[in-house]
A and B are shown apart, each in its own frame.
Chain A
Amino acid sequence: MQANEIITLILAMAVWAFLIISRDKIRKLPAWKTFIASFVVLSAGWIATLAEGLFWHEALNLIEHICYAVSSILLAVWCWRIFTRSSEAAE
């Protein structure tokens, strides 16, 4: 368990707090579910990263990276949805 992992998680919790506070506005963002899902999965990866230092190292490590991959995929999807749709609308 490393300090940056803990900090990352703390930061993530702060972000979670902001997201929860602004949840009404978040819901108005386009494709917000994809965006939030990406962060959720990413947060799960950070938790896995932190937990792997305690137990199930390999499994949690695998989970960690799976979460990173999934988060990236979701983020990519979100980007496509946000920016491609926006550009088409603009055109």
Chain B
Amino acid sequence: MNPVLPITIISLLSIIAALFALWRGRILKQHREAWWILLALLIFDLFHDISNILEWSGITDSLDSIEDYSGLMLPVLFFLIAYVLLRAQDRKALQESEAMYSAIFDGVNDAVFLHDAGTGCIVSVNRRTCDLYGYSRDELSRLTVPDLSASDQPFDQAFLKMGVQGVREGAFPATEWHARDKSGREFWVEINPSMVVIGGRELLLVSVRDISVRKEAELALRMSEEKYRLVVETMVTGVQEIDVSGKILFVNSAFCRIVGYERDELVDTSMFDLLPSQEKEELSAYLQYLVDEQPKPKPWFGTNLRKDGTSISIQTDWDYKRNSHGDITGFVSILTDTTQRMKAEEVLRDSEEKARVLLDATTDMAMLINPEGNLVALNQAAAEGFNRTRAELIGKCPFEFASPEVTASRWKVFREIVASRKPVRFEDRNELKYFDNSMYPILDETGEVQMVALFAKDITERILAESSSRRREKYLSGLSEATQELLILSEGIPFQKFIDLLGPASKSSRAYIFLNHTGPDGSQMISQMAEWCAEGVSSEIDNPHMQDIGIDRWPKRWIDTLMRGEMLKGDIAEFPLDEREILEPQSIRAILMAPIIINEGFTGFIGLDICTDDRVHDDMDETFLRTASHDLAQAIRRSESDRQVHASLKEKEILLREVHHRVKNNLQVVTSLLSLQARRITDERAREALTDSNRRIRAMAMVHEALYNSSDLSHISMGKYFTRLIEEITSLHLRQEGTITFDVITDSLTLSITDAIPVGLIVNELLTNALKHAFPDGRKGTIQISLRKLENDEIELTVEDDGLGLPEDYEQISAETLGLQIVNSLVRIQLGGSISIDRESGTAFHIRFRSGSGPEDAPQSEGRPQDVKEVGRLLE
């Protein structure tokens, strides 16, 4: 078999498969031509193979020509397939391109016109054009440019020609056009024409963009710019625009006014020309730095030269000017004339400096604290108070340097101030120091607390002085009260009362008095006399070890110290052991003893114990106790003196009383003798004279008797005396009882012996006379004796009766009668008074005198001897 045969059969089968593929593949529009050519190719190839097969199989030899011609068609058909496919591809590409450009044409946001360059007729438009103008494509294709333009938009052939020429030359840029749509609405568009040639035809491709919004934005921008320009021009601060080289591009009116130049003189000149030479380089470098590094610009403080040559201080605030790419093209600056402000700042700085000097000069602490409680500023005194530097304290909380309790208290006050916005003043204590604090809130313009000013004055000295003063006052008060108790010594020295008043004033735990005394065996002993204990402190008054202790059993150091007149004091922890053994069981921590020295002798001591705290006695305690011991010593000495005086007075009283008694007795002896003598005298007149004398002597004796019986040895009760005198006189006259009534009115008046004796003699005489002469023949009557004190301190003695009355020749009789002479003399000389007689109804003798106003040369009343001498002298 021909080996080519199977190969050819395979080829044949392949062709059949290809034909099957063609049949199965449908006829697609883009491959239709290729399909048919391919079919032809396959058929020719089929014929070629079939003819080969038939020829080889010996069936026929006449198919050579078919084989040849079919073989000949193969390359041609291959070419045709390739060509057709390529053309189909080109067509497809063209179609796709057309579709793409059509999509682009219709898809752009701008309206696109294609105009005939010659006539201006609309050749084609995109969809956006239809939307923009409201026409359909067909309608637009029949319209011309004027139909789509506003009435004020000129367009004619000349314009078209000129426009076309311009487009050709590239000299027709984007232009604003006033358009009109189908509804007649006029609106602004931007047209951008270009020349295209399509199919050999020159066409104007015009893109039209609706710039209505942009026009409105431009209008708004223009208005905004106008406003901005107005603002810039009316600003009081200068505004300047420069480029990167410093050339001035724009200045506002304020800038011109500040620097004194006209706008024309500034624009297009260099801004560095306005600066002093020493600042030009510096500012130039700064601007260059801004351009290079583009940091956030900082205000520039410098100087500008005005046109008139003067210089002004200025503050320039810079900002960048950039183009659309963000590149710096220049700077915009705001210029502020700070000359006045600099001056004001200088004044303020000066004022601040003065304030700082003042604040630093004061010894009070002054601080500024922010609402968070941290220090913002403080003076030197505050820094020294905290024992730190100002730098260390700034930012710290000043309250944290105190004790926890004080910190909490001050924080509380601070928060209250911040909340209430009201100043507060308060005092507090931190450790050993006292402070008078004043906090003032400083409010900002919104009324919120911006700062709190704290002033703290160290008032420790004042507090301690006040405390010391109060303590001193208490001491003085206690001492005064205790001393007053010592003034009253009627029942001995009130040791307990004294110590009860002293103890509380001393602020000690225990106060006591020890006094020396002699023991039964004659030895010197010392015992606790009185004690006061504070609440909670044990009493030692009943401690047997505190009573009747021999002085020699006390610590020698104590006795020696106290005997020298010195005080024993101190913390017992520093005392010797033997002394501590005595004191510690009594819970004593500190002790103070002051000796009681009387006539340079150690008599005892007053002591103060501290049992409940750790303080020791200070100078004030010592002074207090020393004063108390001195007062007590004085009181003891005075008590002893009083006792001696009292004893002496008692003795003298006894003596005086004895004297009066003896005088009375002596006078009674005299009266007795006179009575005896009178019995022996036969002469009536002589006997009567003796009797009268006896009576007078008895009157004086009665005075002494009254003094002897009186508790007051210097005065006698005249009421009792007159009563006794009346009894004595009436007993001598033997009158029947009841015939004469006696009234004694003395108002409990008492008279001294100086007045009592003459008064007694006077009343004796007048009473005797009245009994003898006023009521003859048993006549009844009344005799009144009154002694009263007048308003002018005179004493009036009245002896009156309702008897017969004095005779007409009384004056002659009184001159001759001893008794009346005695009365007159006693009144005038002894009493220094006056006598008057009232005779209207009976007889009344009124005697007025001042008590104790006897003769100037009269001796002081010291008892009977002087009175008797005086009476005798009067009678001579």
Please determine whether A75 and B4 come into contact, CB atoms closer than 8 angstroms: no
- Given known pairs A39-B78, A69-B7, A69-B8, the reply for A82 and B25 (CB within 8 Å) is yes
| Residue B401, interface by CB 8 Å | no
User: Chain B nearest CB: distance from A64 CB in Å?
Assistant: 8
Please determine whether B17 and A42 come into contact, CB atoms closer than 8 angstroms: no
Please determine whether B21 and A68 come into contact, CB atoms closer than 8 angstroms: no
For B18-59 the 0/1 string (1 means CB < 8 A from A) is 100110111010010001001001100100110010000000
Q: Which chain A residues lie closer than 8 Å to B8 at the CB level?
A: 65, 68-69
Please determine whether A83 and B4 come into contact, CB atoms closer than 8 angstroms: no
In angstroms, Cα B28 to Cα A87, docked, is 7
In angstroms, Cα B90 to Cα A38, docked, is 23
Please determine whether B86 and A75 come into contact, CB atoms closer than 8 angstroms: no
Within 8 A of A (CB), among B438-496: none
Give the contact-size bracket for chain B.
35 or more
Please determine whether B11 and A65 come into contact, CB atoms closer than 8 angstroms: yes
Q: Which chain B residues lie closer than 8 Å to A11 at the CB level?
A: 72, 75-76, 79
User: Chain A nearest CB: distance from B626 CB in Å?
Assistant: 132
| Residue A90, interface by CB 8 Å | yes
Please determine whether A29 and B86 come into contact, CB atoms closer than 8 angstroms: yes
| Residue B3, interface by CB 8 Å | yes
For A18-61 the 0/1 string (1 means CB < 8 A from B) is 11001001101100000100010011001000000000000001
In angstroms, Cα B18 to Cα A35, docked, is 13
In angstroms, Cα B82 to Cα A11, docked, is 14
Select A79's contact among B38, B68, B82, beta carbons within 8 Å: B38
Please determine whether B31 and A73 come into contact, CB atoms closer than 8 angstroms: no
For A62-91 the 0/1 string (1 means CB < 8 A from B) is 100110110111011011101110110010
In angstroms, Cα B89 to Cα A90, docked, is 16
- Given known pairs A76-B18, A87-B26, the reply for A25 and B90 (CB within 8 Å) is yes
Please determine whether B69 and A4 come into contact, CB atoms closer than 8 angstroms: yes
| Residue B83, interface by CB 8 Å | yes
In angstroms, Cα B680 to Cα A86, docked, is 207
Please determine whether B11 and A7 come into contact, CB atoms closer than 8 angstroms: no
User: Chain A nearest CB: distance from B6 CB in Å?
Assistant: 9
Q: Which chain A residues lie closer than 8 Å to B10 at the CB level?
A: 69, 72-73
Please determine whether A15 and B75 come into contact, CB atoms closer than 8 angstroms: yes
| Residue B329, interface by CB 8 Å | no
For A74, the closest partner residue in chain B by CB is: B14
| Residue B71, interface by CB 8 Å | yes
Please determine whether A2 and B42 come into contact, CB atoms closer than 8 angstroms: no
For A22, the closest partner residue in chain B by CB is: B86
Please determine whether A79 and B22 come into contact, CB atoms closer than 8 angstroms: yes
Q: Which chain B residues lie closer than 8 Å to A12 at the CB level?
A: 75
In angstroms, Cα B42 to Cα A76, docked, is 9
| Residue B283, interface by CB 8 Å | no
Select B24's contact among A43, A46, A87, A90, beta carbons within 8 Å: A87
Q: How many residues of A contact B (CB 8 A)?
A: 41
- Given known pairs A65-B4, A76-B14, the reply for A8 and B74 (CB within 8 Å) is yes
Please determine whether A90 and B26 come into contact, CB atoms closer than 8 angstroms: yes
Q: Which chain B residues lie closer than 8 Å to A84 at the CB level?
A: 21, 24-25
For B69, the closest partner residue in chain A by CB is: A4
- Given known pairs A4-B72, A7-B72, A84-B25, the reply for A26 and B7 (CB within 8 Å) is no
- Given known pairs A15-B78, A72-B14, A79-B38, the reply for A29 and B85 (CB within 8 Å) is yes
User: Chain A nearest CB: distance from B56 CB in Å?
Assistant: 10
User: Chain B nearest CB: distance from A32 CB in Å?
Assistant: 9
| Residue B15, interface by CB 8 Å | yes
Please determine whether B7 and A66 come into contact, CB atoms closer than 8 angstroms: yes
In angstroms, Cα B15 to Cα A84, docked, is 15
Q: Which chain B residues lie closer than 8 Å to A14 at the CB level?
A: 75, 79
Please determine whether B86 and A26 come into contact, CB atoms closer than 8 angstroms: yes
Please determine whether A26 and B82 come into contact, CB atoms closer than 8 angstroms: yes
User: Chain B nearest CB: distance from A33 CB in Å?
Assistant: 13
User: Chain B nearest CB: distance from A76 CB in Å?
Assistant: 4
Q: Which chain A residues lie closer than 8 Å to B71 at the CB level?
A: 4-5, 8, 46
Q: Which chain A residues lie closer than 8 Å to B41 at the CB level?
A: 75
Please determine whether A65 and B7 come into contact, CB atoms closer than 8 angstroms: yes
In angstroms, Cα B75 to Cα A19, docked, is 12
- Given known pairs A73-B10, A90-B28, the reply for A68 and B48 (CB within 8 Å) is yes
Within 8 A of A (CB), among B594-636: none
In angstroms, Cα B49 to Cα A25, docked, is 31
- Given known pairs A62-B7, A65-B7, A68-B8, the reply for A18 and B72 (CB within 8 Å) is no
Please determine whether A65 and B52 come into contact, CB atoms closer than 8 angstroms: yes
Q: Which chain A residues lie closer than 8 Å to B48 at the CB level?
A: 68
For A15, the closest partner residue in chain B by CB is: B79
In angstroms, Cα B39 to Cα A82, docked, is 13
Q: Which chain B residues lie closer than 8 Å to A87 at the CB level?
A: 24-26, 28
Q: Which chain B residues lie closer than 8 Å to A25 at the CB level?
A: 86, 89-90
In angstroms, Cα B14 to Cα A66, docked, is 12
User: Chain B nearest CB: distance from A28 CB in Å?
Assistant: 6
User: Chain B nearest CB: distance from A46 CB in Å?
Assistant: 8
Please determine whether A83 and B22 come into contact, CB atoms closer than 8 angstroms: yes
For B52, the closest partner residue in chain A by CB is: A65
For B74, the closest partner residue in chain A by CB is: A42
Select A19's contact among B17, B52, B82, beta carbons within 8 Å: B82
Residues of A within 8 A of B (CB): 2, 4-5, 7-8, 11-12, 14-15, 18-19, 22, 25-26, 28-29, 35, 39, 42-43, 46, 61-62, 65-66, 68-69, 71-73, 75-76, 78-80, 82-84, 86-87, 90
Can you report 26 A-B residue pairs in the complex whose CB atoms are below 8 A from each other?
A: A11-B75, A15-B82, A18-B82, A25-B89, A28-B89, A29-B85, A39-B78, A42-B74, A43-B75, A61-B4, A62-B3, A65-B11, A68-B8, A68-B49, A69-B10, A69-B11, A72-B12, A72-B15, A73-B10, A75-B14, A75-B41, A75-B45, A76-B15, A79-B17, A82-B25, A90-B28
Apart from A84-B24, A86-B31, what 17 extra A-B contacts exist at CB < 8 Å? A4-B71, A15-B75, A15-B82, A29-B85, A29-B86, A35-B82, A42-B75, A46-B71, A69-B8, A71-B11, A72-B11, A79-B22, A79-B25, A83-B25, A83-B28, A86-B26, A90-B26
Residues of B within 8 A of A (CB): 3-4, 7-8, 10-12, 14-15, 17-18, 21-22, 24-26, 28, 31, 35, 38, 41-42, 45, 48-49, 52, 68-69, 71-72, 74-76, 78-79, 81-83, 85-86, 89-90
